[in-house]
Chain A
Amino acid sequence: MNPQLLSLSPNNSSLKSRFTLGFLRALKRLNMQTSSSPSPPQTVSSSSSSSPREMCRRYLRIRIAADASMASAVGSRRAWSRTLLLKIRNRQFRSCNSSARRISMKKKCSGRKMKKLKCDKEINELRKFVPGGEAMDACSLLDEAAHYIKCLNTQVKVMTRIADIYSAT
C-alpha cells in the first residue's frame, strides 16, 4: 500500500514507526470493511456515493483507530495511554467494563490532599484535555501532559504524511 513508509527497518522500533505500522494496518482493515459492504450504485455524478452518515461513521472510526494505535504504540507505560486503551476496549466489550474502570480509578488522587497551588484553576482546566487527568495529582498531570503532547505531534505528522501520500496517488 505505502511502500515508503513500510520500508522502516524492524530494528528501528521507535514510537513513530510503531504508530505508523499500527495505524496503516487499521486503515487497511477499515478499507476492507467498507469495500466488502456493497455501496449503492445510485449516483454516478457525485464524487462519493456514500451517505453523510456513512462518512461520519468512517471519520469516527479513523479517529478512534488513530488514538488506539497511538495508545498501543506507547503501551501501558503511561497513565494516559492506559486510560485511552481501557476506554476503547470498554467501548468494544461493554459487558465487562466495571472491573476495568475500577482499576483505572485506583490511581493516586492525592491532588486533593496537597496544598492549594497557585495555578490550581489552570491545572484543573488541563485535566480535561489529558486522558485520565482527573485522577492524577498535579505533578503526574504535568508529566503526562508533556508526553501526551509529544505523542500527539507524532500522530499529526504521521497522519499528514499518510494523507499526502493518499492524495498524491
Chain B
Amino acid sequence: MSSRRSRSRQSGGSRISDDQINDLVSKLQQLLPEIRNSRRSDKVSASTVLQETCNYIRSLHREVDDLSERLSELLATTDTAQAAVIRSLLLQ
C-alpha cells in the first residue's frame, strides 16, 4: 500500500488516487445502514457517503454514551439495592 502511494505521488496520478478512493468509498457504503437499504449503490455520490459516514459515527458515539449512562444507573441501582438490603437487615 505504501509503495502504491509513493508511486502515485511521483507520477502525478490523481486518477490512481481517485480509483482507490472510490473503492474505499464503496466499501464504506456497504456498512452504512440507510444507503444500503434505501437506494441503489451506483446512484450515491462519494460526498454523500462520506457525510453519511460522519453522521453514522456520530450516532454510534451517542448510542455508546446513552448505553454508558444506562449501565452506570444500573450499577448504581444494584449497589443501592444491596446496601438497602443490608440496611434493612441491620435495622430489624
Contacts and interface: CB of A to CB of B under 8 A. Distances in A.
Interface stretch (A6-14, A84-92, A142-150): A142-150
Interface in B16-64: 17-18, 20-21, 24-25, 27-28, 31-32, 46-47, 50-51, 53-54, 56-58, 60-61, 63-64
B64 A148 contact: no
Interface of B: 1-2, 5, 8-9, 12, 14, 17-18, 20-21, 24-25, 27-28, 31-32, 46-47, 50-51, 53-54, 56-58, 60-61, 63-65, 67-80, 82-84, 87
Given A27-B75, A137-B5, A155-B64, 18 more contacts: A34-B75, A39-B79, A47-B80, A49-B80, A55-B73, A59-B65, A61-B72, A63-B64, A63-B65, A66-B68, A123-B50, A152-B60, A153-B60, A156-B63, A156-B67, A163-B67, A163-B71, A166-B74
Interface of B is mostly: helix
Interface residues of A, number: 56
A118 interface: yes
B24 A139 contact: yes
Contacts of A27: 71, 75
Q: For the complex of A and B, list the 6 residue pairs with the smallest distance between their C-beta atoms, beginning with the closest.
A: A122-B50, A142-B24, A63-B68, A159-B67, A59-B72, A152-B60
B67 A160 contact: yes
Interface of A is mostly: helix
